[in-house]
Chains A and B, each alone.
Chain A
Amino acid sequence: NAGVMQNPRHLVRRRGQEARLRCSPMKGHSHVYWYRQLPEEGLKFMVYLQKENIIDESGMPKERFSAEFPKEGPSILRIQQVVRGDSAAYFCASSPPGLAEAFFGQGTRLTVV
Chain B
Amino acid sequence: AQSVTQPDIHITVSEGASLELRCNYSYGATPYLFWYVQSPGQGLQLLLKYFSGDTLVQGIKGFEAEFKRSQSSFNLRKPSVHWSDAAEYFCAVGAGNRDDKIIFGKGTRLHILP
Contact = CB atoms under 8 A, between A and B. Distances in A.
Contact of B44 (A31, A41, A59, A104): A104
Contacts, number: 64
B43 A106 contact: yes
A11 B45 CA distance: 23
A45 B103 contact: yes
B74 interface: no
Interface in B82-114: 90, 92, 94-96, 98-107
Given A101-B34, A106-B42, A43 B104 contact: yes
A9 B108 CA distance: 24
Given A56-B99, A100-B96, A104-B43, A35 B104 contact: yes
Contact of B106 (A31, A42, A107): A42
Q: Interface residue tally of chain A, by bracket?
A: 20 to 34
Contacts of A107: 42-43
B98 A100 contact: yes
A3 to B, nearest CB: 8
A45 B46 CA distance: 17
A45 to B, nearest CB: 5
Nearest to B6: A42
B17 interface: no
B101 A48 contact: yes
Given A43-B107, A104-B45, 17 more contacts: A4-B43, A41-B106, A42-B6, A45-B101, A45-B103, A55-B101, A56-B99, A56-B101, A91-B44, A98-B98, A100-B32, A100-B96, A100-B100, A102-B34, A103-B46, A104-B43, A107-B43
